[in-house]
Amino acid sequence: MRYSAASLVSVALAIGLISQSLRAQTQEQQDRIDRVSRLVVTAPLCRSMGITVDPDLPAKVAAGLKAETAAWGMPSGRIDQLAAASADRQGKLFAQDLDTEAANAKSAAQLQKLSTILLSYGRTCVEATSDPLFSTVMQKPAGFDVKAAATKFADSMLEDGGLASWQTPAIRARGDMMMSAGICRKRIGKERSDALVAEFGRSEDIRTRDYYLKSFDIGLNDTELNFTSAQCSRLIARNRAEIAKVGTK
């Protein structure tokens, strides 16, 4: 979940109620506006990584930022413009960095790039917990491991596609077979489909078992693929060959 555009803008607009005297904006002030925007945009991701985030964070940060910027002596309209532009920019950067890389994560190099980006955001979350404006609305749990948290979150994004860090070639191959059992059930029949599920869909590890069942459900619910019986037979044969090739690890 992300904060809405209205929530982000409310933080920006709250800054506008400050002194009307003219004074040149400094780079330090721009950096501060950008930092606050970045932390607000990142906060929902931080929650997903295990950071405790106050549900009223936008309003509380807006109030704190209003007090902080009161001494800047900049026109309210100028502050509004800078903060709104920063919130919009940081939101777009977040979407591009995370959503695009997640969608493209297929190869080992791309998966590593996504993990690196998530680790960077995780470190931003840790930084937020010591920022004066955010330390009262974001707290990290004792013993928080940012690398482990980033990996866990990346896995949650990638596991349905068989690309999570814990999904070995053997797990992925069996997941593919389970999907085939679902897709081809109407062609190969209940008995053969159930036999494939019984052979390849069992695991004592609940995470692996859930992945197998999700794979089967994805295949079963597919409305686009309409394989013939011959195509299903070839698909299942390829799945068996891949399972034999990768073994049990």
Q: Are residues 153 and 205 in the same domain?
A: no
Name the nearest CA neighbour of 103 among 163, 43, 49, 153. 163
Low-confidence ranges of the chain (pLDDT < 70): 1-24, 76, 105-108, 249
Q: Are residues 142 and 187 in the same domain?
A: no
Helix (H, G, I), strand (E, B) or coil at 73: coil
Q: Are residues 217 and 237 in the same domain?
A: yes
Who contacts 27 (Cβ-Cβ below 8 Å, separation ≥6)?
none
Select from 109, 143, 161 the last residue of a domain. 161
Q: Do the strands 138-139 and 52-53 form a parallel or antiparallel pair, or are they unpaired?
A: antiparallel
pTM score? 0.67
Domain extent, residue 91, equals 5-161
H helical segments located in 49-107: 57-69, 76-95, 101-104
Q: Are residues 156 and 174 in the same domain?
A: no
Q: Is 187 exposed, middle or buried (0-12, 13-18, 19+ CB in 10 A)?
A: middle
Q: Are residues 113 and 178 in the same domain?
A: no
Q: Are residues 135 and 192 in the same domain?
A: no
User: What is the rounded distance in angstroms from the CA atom of residue 118 to the CA atom of residue 120?
Assistant: 5
Q: Are residues 156 and 178 in the same domain?
A: no
H helical segments located in 17-145: 27-48, 57-69, 76-95, 101-104, 108-128
Select from 137, 161, 185 the last residue of a domain. 161
- How many structural domains are present in the chain? 2
Which secondary-structure segment (H or E) carries 140? none
Give the distance between the most distant pair of CA atoms in the chain.
80
Res 22: pLDDT? 36
Name the nearest CA neighbour of 219 among 174, 185, 171. 185
Q: Are residues 156 and 211 in the same domain?
A: no
Q: Are residues 75 and 149 in the same domain?
A: yes
Q: Are residues 73 and 125 in the same domain?
A: yes
Q: Is 44 exposed, middle or buried (0-12, 13-18, 19+ CB in 10 A)?
A: middle
Select from 135, 161, 187 the last residue of a domain. 161
User: What is the rounded distance in angstroms from the CA atom of residue 61 to the CA atom of residue 40?
Assistant: 8
Q: Are residues 134 and 54 in the same domain?
A: yes
Q: Are residues 49 and 138 in the same domain?
A: yes
